[in-house]
Amino acid sequence: MLLYTYLSAAISFALMATQARAAMKPSDIQSTCNALATGAFGLKDLVLVINSTSNAGPMRDVFEEFDDLFDSVLSNIGLMTGSARITQATDQQLVYEAFSNFVQGLFELMDALSGSAATFIKLDEQNQFRIPTEIRALAGVVDAYFFNLIGLFPPSSTYYAQSNNQKGQVDTHFHQAVHGYHLATALSPEPYANISST
């Protein structure tokens, strides 16, 4: 998956460099953000079903949906390139609300993954490595996507500040989800308690 991540990113950036820059309208950005949110909510629902049933059968679907979400976010980075700064207040609100919807989807997905860590590892010990790898790969493209999207808001707008704040919260949720898998396999309840701060 990590090699796939790097190859996908390299191919995407190479294509963006050679193609004419496409410009998305605020309504297009709204639609893509909401579609990404739908993907995140759908994956969250699948994770919760597996956790509640302890059925390993749909685990393959989890990885496929991770890949689909990764690919969708990555392709939308390229689509957004060349878009004009959003100056109209109504357009800013439109995009920000869709952005917040995607943020909420990521919050709920990461919380579901973290809460399912023990079950997922019990179903397959390799999930202690596979799921954090998927989370980190998704975090990387989401970070780039949000960086580009936030850059479309004027720096003086409240939406710029609010979206930066939400991006920070998303980063924290990604980190906590990975940490949940480390804690699920830790040999003590506080595995990092003896680490020196020096």
pLDDT tens for the chain, 198 residues long, are 554 555 455 445 444 443 444 588 999 999 999 999 999 999 999 999 999 999 999 999 999 999 999 999 999 998 888 889 999 999 999 999 999 999 999 999 999 999 999 999 999 999 999 999 999 999 999 999 999 999 999 999 999 999 999 999 999 999 999 999 988 887 655 655 444 444
Distances in Å between the Cα of 32 and the Cα atoms of 78, 157, 179 are: 12, 22, 29
Per the rule left: phi > 0, alpha: psi between -120 and 50, beta: everything else, 163 is alpha
Token pair 């392709």 in the structure block, residue? 75
Provide the 8-state DSSP code for 88. Answer: S
- 75, part of any domain: yes
- 195, part of any domain: no
- 14, part of any domain: no
Tokens of 71: 């690919």
Find the domain containing 133 and state its range. Answer: 24-184
The CATH number assigned to the domain holding 75 equals 1.20.58
CA dist 47 and 13 (Å) reads 31
| pTM for the full predicted model | 0.84
Q: How many domains does the chain have?
A: 1
